[in-house]
A and B are shown apart, each in its own frame.
Chain A
Amino acid sequence: MKKQRSKCGISLDRRDFLKLSGATTFLVGASAGKARAFYAPSLPYKRVKVANIKDLKEDQPVLFNYPDESSPAILVKLGKEAIGGVGPQRDIVAFSALCTHQGCPVSYEKKRFICRCHYSMFDPAKNGQTYQGHASQWLPQIILRFEPTTGDIYAEGIEGLIWGRAKNIIK
């Protein structure tokens, strides 16, 4: 069966792909008058410089806001290749810092994100996977781009819905 590669990198067989396409056709916003697939990134994210590799140290998180001031995020160099990681070691990742469970801040400690409101824990090396706790939704991962010439790291979009919003870009 012919395999197609979707944008998110998951390989789907043709039958599944057609069904997925079928699903997205339901998500047609009559008000918008055109198809609105909600699969991320579906919004016009700005490209923002968030760090330079020379300032990063392993396990020392960098805090920033993205895509706007009311959405805290954390970037961290894990020291080991991670899903979605950028940089020479593919170990630099960034996530929304709002727990997907009820919006409390998560902190980076001991190679994982932990929320101290209800003790959900997320694995930054594994796509923000909830490996313990309440959070049904994995932590939204921020799409990063690394510029080898300058060492700059840019945020370019978000995969996953930020807690407390119906749309990642609210303005």
Chain B
Amino acid sequence: MALFARKDQIPIPPKNAEKYTTVCQYCNVGCGYDVYVWPVGKDGGPKPNENALGIDFTKQQQALVGQSIIENMHSVIIKNGKPHHVLIIPSKDSPINRGNYSIRGGTNAQTTYSPTKPTRARLHHPMIRVGDEFMPVSWDEAIDLIARVVKGVKDTYGPDSIAMKIHDHGGSGSGFEDNWAVGKFFFVAVGTRMLSIHNRPAYNSEVWGQRERGVHELNYTYEDARLADTIVLWGANSFETATVFYTEHMLANFQGATVEEKKKEFLKGEPIEPTRMIIIDPRRTASVTVAEAIDKSRVLHLRPNLGTDYVLANAIARAVWEKGWHDEKFIKERTDLKTFEDYKKKSLMLDVPYDEFMRRVEKLTGVSRADIEKAAEWIAKPKAGGFRRRTLIIYEKGVIWNYKNYDTIAAIAQLAALTGNYGKPGTGCGRQGGHQEGYVRPHSKSRAKLVGSIYAGGPPPNVDEYVKNDLRAKVYFVSGTDPYLSTPNAQEYKKRVHERTFALTKYLSEYAGFAGEPAGSEERAKRILEGLAKTDGLFLVVINMYETEIGRDAHVILPAAGWGETPTTYINCNSRLLRIADQFMDPPGDAKPDWWIWGRIATRMKELYEAEGNFEEAKYCSGMDWKTAEEVFLDGASEFPDNRVPEEDEALLPAECYKGVTYEYLRKVGQKGIQVPVRIDPKTGQLVGTKRRYVHKFGTPDGKFKWYGTDPWDPDPMKFYPPQITKYFKDGNDKKFPFWFTNGRTQIIWQTGYHDRYLPEKVYSLPLPYIEINPVDAEKLGIKSGDLVEVYNLEGNVVALAIVNDAPPPGMVFGLMYRWKESLNHLTTSYTDPKTTIPWYKASRVGIRKLKGSLESVLKYTSLLPNNDFT
């Protein structure tokens, strides 16, 4: 009857079960989890004194108060050669989730490696491509081959011939340790500029528009979501992408459950008003409709035309200014008044009369003046008694991956400054985050000059374009990401990368005309270097936990350890809370942590340079022969400046500064963690975290917020949008591609579903990628939920399941950005912001064709109910 085997009992950990602290491997929220491991056959009993949890399992637990323990939180692993139970449950001790958890994190235990479960698909051994298949080799062989090719290419063509696309984040087993190691390898040992970050074509911050104002994007703390008078979600569907943060904290505030906390933090006599939410998103997302189901009168939903958010942010700011609701005291004391003039002229456009300004804004953005003014009121109109309204603005990919990335982020960051919403309880303006963070890289020792935005020596090179089209690119590393799914304009990208990698594969197999390929890493490396000289080939090294789509074109595949298989450390986004995600089991087969892999390649290069007497180059490859994860963590801390500074100087510390923190400390504080940047108190010598940033000053030399005047704009779409979009408005393309297309996530899976694809629930719920289409458009095209459609444009095409609901407005379709093997990034354009090289994933134009027939199993097993109706 059931679609897959279910359980009706799970084993209970005994009192002497091993217990570990960990943090969820998935999203930005960083829920705390407790891990219990014990040998099979040694279960605890149901009475509180018979088990490690102290729970009375002879009784039904009480909702919300009780500990959630569900089927998915248990698995059986092999540890020390013996079967062990593992139970991974949401921690009641974590201030972040307090026992709450998401549909993703609830399955953490299912992702543990087991030879008898679907996770047996994990990569077990290093593999090299021989002919048209992959064959296992030892680490020594694989490392020697890579080191020889990298060294040979670097010596012949220079360091920029080595390109990479690498994870840069926390979670998924990759925290500060892996990020430091990969940084040291590419910045120092190799010294290439051709770097790109896992989800985009260049090596850049997604939010230079805020950072260059003197504000790091992670500046608030989760408590601010409990204290705010108004919460703004801008391009952030937090119910689905920061699930527990939304329900545990934002909703608690919205439902009035945090009044007592407000009484403690608010000023004397300050009113506590019913909390409001402003959500800016073209779709009626679940984040909108959940809040509306609670109290529609306190929810404002603005639906700007795609790409017009920076104009909308400036328009709200202008309305604030016109009404006199800006925070004059804050502007005068905390911000730079010289650059403020530029902001007033270019962003607020004070030279244009208000009525005329608003007419233009309405035309371009599609948002009414009344709604813009209402947003201004909810964000900034002082409360009774003249108290400043406390507004927390949280933004994410909807605006990051938008048209004019730099200006959009700057406009939102400046709206917060204009209204005095930094550094006080219940305020802040920053990212929601996608994944967690663990960024530490040796910028001070980098041999390549890494650049910032166009205002800081940039923009950085587009490495996607480089590996596609520039034959100087010879070696390409891809680690912890699958750009065949995730990069913009993916259809063209994979075609080109395939052509280039295949050119080398072909050359290798044509060795001596008909014989086999060269044997042994030395001979093979020689032949590869020869092939790279004679063809337009590209040598591709893929490092991952599983086989990936891009892996099919690799020449070497290296198996990486995952979450729980090495100790690692990272911070969450809503509070910058640093904790340890400890090791509780071993990696599968011969898989190794990323830091170990990078260290080994560098060390082998060092030996090769030493052997030829090049001690200068050898020096740059040294110091990476780490033995433990903590050695890497402590090595990374060397990059941070002296943090023995007073509280007000936290503004000048790198956001993720953890200098002084050790694994011992993190294991001691457990789920409590410590909020970065960490200081060493000059008086006491104790480690101190930073709860909320920029209370005293901003991160600029004079401590003042720096303003910026955004680009001029024209209300005519033909003149407003870039050529990548306006090409769809002309030459008959407006008829062929009548819909706007935007994309995003579902909370059911994490990223490409690299783990989720092995879980039965996810496979049934998400059998193929889907699009959402408004009932008005669906009726015109004769499409109903469950139909298969082809979505196409001048960039590429995809097949998707149609879901008819009112989330997208008429004239716009939404697509899941990618699933495990299919990518809707086939439809995204190659536009990047000329100021930052950040792509605009969130808009293109498409046509839709209904395909014949349907998939019977999908209609039978997959729910097609509207996922944004909570009434």
| Chain A residues at the B interface, C-beta cutoff of 8 Å | 6, 8-10, 19-20, 22-23, 26-31, 38-43, 70-71, 83-84, 98-105, 110-112, 114, 117-121, 123, 125-127, 129-138, 140-141, 143, 157-168, 170-171
Contact = CB atoms under 8 A, between A and B. Distances in A.
A38 B70 contact: no
Contacts of B117: 19, 23
B99 A26 contact: no
Interface of B: 1-12, 40-43, 46, 57-64, 66, 68-73, 76, 83, 99-107, 114, 116-117, 120, 239, 243-244, 247, 251, 286, 290, 293, 747-748, 761, 764-765, 860-863, 865, 867-870
Nearest to B69: A166
A125 B46 CA distance: 34
B870 A29 contact: no
8 interchain residue pairs of minimum CB distance: A136-B106, A30-B41, A164-B61, A103-B63, A131-B863, A123-B863, A40-B8, A70-B60
Contacts of B46: 166-167, 170
A163 B286 CA distance: 25
30 contacts: A10-B3, A23-B114, A26-B76, A26-B83, A30-B40, A38-B7, A40-B6, A84-B1, A101-B101, A102-B63, A118-B247, A119-B239, A119-B290, A120-B103, A127-B2, A129-B862, A132-B286, A132-B747, A136-B105, A136-B761, A141-B2, A160-B7, A161-B6, A161-B7, A163-B61, A166-B9, A166-B12, A168-B9, A170-B60, A171-B58
Q: Is the interface of A mostly helix, strand, loop or mixed?
A: loop
B90 to A, nearest CB: 9
A138 B761 contact: yes
A108 B69 CA distance: 24
Contacts of A111: 865
A160 B8 contact: yes
A126 B861 contact: yes
A140 B63 contact: no
A127 B3 contact: yes
A143 B8 CA distance: 12
B46 to A, nearest CB: 7
B70 A27 contact: no
Contact of A159 (B6, B43, B114, B865): B6
Contacts of B68: 101-103, 163
Given A133-B747, A137-B71, 4 more contacts: A71-B60, A126-B764, A136-B72, A161-B70
Contacts of B747: 132-133
Nearest to A111: B865
Contact of A164 (B66, B104, B863): B66
Contacts of B2: 8-9, 40, 83-84, 127, 141, 159-160
B808 to A, nearest CB: 16
A161 B9 contact: yes
Given A26-B76, A29-B41, A121 B1 contact: no
Contacts of A117: 63-64
Nearest to B56: A170
A159 B40 contact: no
Contacts of B286: 119, 132
B37 to A, nearest CB: 14
B6 A100 contact: no
A165 B103 CA distance: 19
A130 B103 CA distance: 9
Contacts of A166: 9-12, 46, 57, 69
Contacts of A120: 103
A71 to B, nearest CB: 7
Which of A9, A41, A138: most chain B Cβ within 10 A?
A: A138
Given A8-B1, A161-B8, A129 B765 contact: yes
A158 B8 CA distance: 7
B870 A119 contact: yes
Given A8-B4, A28-B40, A170-B58, A136 B101 contact: yes
B116 A23 contact: yes
Contact of B867 (A121, A126, A171): A121
A103 B62 contact: yes
Nearest to A100: B70
Contacts of B69: 166
A120 B58 CA distance: 27
Given A40-B8, A119-B239, A136-B72, A165 B1 contact: no
B43 A43 contact: no
A165 B64 contact: no
Contacts of A163: 61, 63, 68, 70
Given A102-B100, A117-B64, A126-B863, A22 B6 contact: no
